[in-house]
A = this chain, B = another copy of it.
Amino acid sequence: MMSQISLADLNAADKADFVAALANVVEYSPWIAEKLAGQRPFTGINQLHAALMAAIQSAEPDVQLALIRAHPDLANKTQRAAGLTAESTDEQNSAGLDRLSDAEYAAFERVNNAYREKFGFPYIVCVRRHTKDSVLRDFETRLLNIAKTETRRAIEEIGRISALRLDQLVVADDKLKVHGRLSTHVLDNHAGKPAPGIPVELIELASLGESRVIARTVTNADGRTDQPLIGGRPLPIGRYELRFRVAKYYAERNVPLSEPPFLDEIPLRFAISEPENHYHVPLLVTPWSYATYRGS
Contacts and interface: CB of A to CB of B under 8 A. Distances in A.
Interface in A262-279: 262-267, 269-271, 273-274
A266 B293 CA distance: 12
Given A222-B296, A267-B267, A288 B189 contact: yes
B189 A189 contact: yes
A138 to B, nearest CB: 10
A5 interface: no
> What size tier do the contact residues of chain A reach?
35 or more
A191 to B, nearest CB: 7
A267 B269 contact: yes
Interface of A: 134, 137, 187, 189-194, 222-223, 237-239, 258-267, 269-271, 273-274, 284, 286-296
Given A260-B273, A263-B269, A289-B292, 11 more contacts: A189-B289, A190-B286, A192-B288, A193-B294, A238-B260, A258-B273, A258-B274, A267-B269, A289-B291, A289-B294, A290-B293
